[in-house]
Structure 1
Amino acid sequence: MFDLQRAISEADNICFLTGAGVSTASGIPDYRSKGGLYADSEKPEYALSDDNLARHHENFHQWVLANMFHPEAKPNVIHDKMAAISNVKGTIVTQNVDGLDRAAGAEHVIEFHGNLYRLYCQKCHQTFSYDQYQQSDIHAADGGVIRPDIVLYGEPINQQVAEAAVDAVSSADLLIVVGTSLVVYPFAGLLRYAPMGATLVAVNKEALELPPRAHMVQGDAVSVFEPLHL
């Protein structure tokens, strides 16, 4: 059995690579599992696409409000432990757009797919609050469409964000994958930049296909993370 606590204690630079499974314990559904966000949608990828936003912004607005935002959600123990550990010696690179890592106090967070609660007008780039977005997705002053600052299907990852994520992975001596099955690219491709001598461990309920010499901690991430400390 891999000793995750010992690995954390002995590591100098830790990189957490996280996905939707981290936030399910906070009441936010994941995407592709049974009962997940995409389970009851016929074309979820189109609903969250740049094309849908451009052609049918009203539909995009309604779908995002109904399915993506969970302002009542609070960080869970996984967020809390990752924040405490990464603030001292590491970085969190997350696919999540819910902002819960920062809400937990994490100081070194790379939001690979953006943040839902950063909202801006596409015409003038003025920022808006979630409460304002609930009322309308149109900026009354100039008619611009307001959108969340997240990466939609059909859009590229921000180059600076991608480079920061690569730097975080390539400088780590311990990489901890949690809450993601590593099937969504380009995020999953970040593992290519792991140093030769780095330790890679994944925490997941189901076993994942991992590179050679990687370690699998199979179990509920909440239970695995609860006892962890620096």
Structure 2
Amino acid sequence: MHDTINQAVKKIKASRSLVFLTGAGVSVPSGIPDYRSLSGVYQGIAAPEYLLSHTCLKEEPDKFYAFVKKLYHPSARPNIIHEQIAALEKEKYVTVVSQNIDGLHQAAGSQNIVNFHGSLYHCYCQNCGETVPVAEYLKSDKHFCGGQIRPDIVLYEEALDEQNVSKSIQAIATADAIVVVGTSLKVYPFSGLIQYQAPNAELIVINQEPLYLNYPHLMVTEKAEVVFKKISNKENH
């Protein structure tokens, strides 16, 4: 185990251009539950997939709003993973492509981020298009113009932002190392991004459960915070 951790740390430190593909597991140490644990929130009423769908937003806005408010964790702070990814930007070209909608990569100081599924922290009125502060949205989803406010996240049945997809593909195609952190890579098209890696690029996977990919990769079956503490250790330089 320690051998794979050390290999991953060396490969990350040796790279010049890095892409981090991050998922819910990155934010768990910050106190944000992963997606699967949300399945019990409305148990017996509807699946989370429906509650986070365009149909629910349009047809049952009150139910949508009640569920989405549970996704906000205002007291959550970036952890060692977010912090070290941001710190690596000072010495390498780093792109973060994240499935997460919690804003913690930004809070840690990362600059070059693709929020693949949008962000809870950008809200707007669907009627007039005005941007609305999150604090106001958490008090009410009704705008003064009469429209309904929503967060700028990609719901089920909605299309991804094409610019986000193309930027992600370009970053992966030009990186010499791709690091998958805290995601099972089961959600498409996010999971399909690794197919665009350059032939000589290193693929490193850090996840508590082993992933079985059709590409050569270094699998580190460990909590991501353990690996990132090693990266921050000065003696590894």
- State the TM bucket, normalised to the shorter chain: over 0.9
Give unmatched runs, 5+ long, in structure 1.
none
Name the structure 2 match of 1:126: 130
What amino acid sits opposite 1:37 in the alignment? L
Q: 2:57 aligns with which of 53, 78, 85?
A: 53
Answering whether residue 220 of structure 2 is matched by residue 217 of structure 1, we say yes
Give the superposition deviation at 1:161.
0.9
What amino acid sits opposite 1:212 in the alignment? Y
Q: Distance in 1 between matches of 2:197 and 2:131?
A: 36
Contact 1:14-1:86 at 8 Å conserved across structures: no
Answering whether residue 155 of structure 2 is matched by residue 155 of structure 1, we say no
| Deviations, residues 3-40 of structure 1 (Å, cap 9, x unaligned) | 112112211100000000000000000012xxx11244
Q: Distance in 1 between matches of 2:64 and 2:158?
A: 15
Contact 1:12-1:173 at 8 Å conserved across structures: yes
Name the structure 1 match of 2:110: 106
Q: Determine helix, strand or coil for the equivalent of 1:175.
A: strand
What amino acid sits opposite 2:166 in the alignment? E
Name the structure 2 match of 1:8: 12
Contact 1:86-1:92 at 8 Å conserved across structures: no
Q: 1:137 aligns with which of 119, 137, 141?
A: 141
Q: Determine helix, strand or coil for the equivalent of 1:134.
A: helix
Give the superposition deviation at 1:207.
0.7
Name the structure 2 match of 1:192: 195
Give the superposition deviation at 1:226.
0.7
Give the superposition deviation at 1:211.
2.5
Answering whether residue 95 of structure 2 is matched by residue 94 of structure 1, we say no
Name the structure 2 match of 1:25: 29
Name the structure 2 match of 1:115: 119
Contact 1:31-1:39 at 8 Å conserved across structures: no
Q: TM-score, normalised by structure 2?
A: 0.91
Q: Distance in 1 between matches of 2:108 and 2:221?
A: 25
Aligned residues: 225
Q: TM-score, normalised by structure 1?
A: 0.94
| Matches for 1:72-87 after TM superposition, within 5 Å | 72-87=75-90
Q: Distance in 2 between matches of 1:208 and 1:64?
A: 29
Q: Distance in 1 between matches of 2:22 and 2:167?
A: 15
Give the superposition deviation at 1:162.
0.8
Percentage of identical aligned residues: 43
Q: Distance in 2 between matches of 1:168 and 1:37?
A: 31
Answering whether residue 185 of structure 2 is matched by residue 182 of structure 1, we say yes
| Matches for 1:36-47 after TM superposition, within 5 Å | 36-41=37-42, 42-47=46-51
Provide the alpha-carbon RMSD of the alignment: 1.2
Give the superposition deviation at 1:106.
0.4
Q: Distance in 1 between matches of 2:216 and 2:169?
A: 21
Contact 2:9-2:227 at 8 Å conserved across structures: no
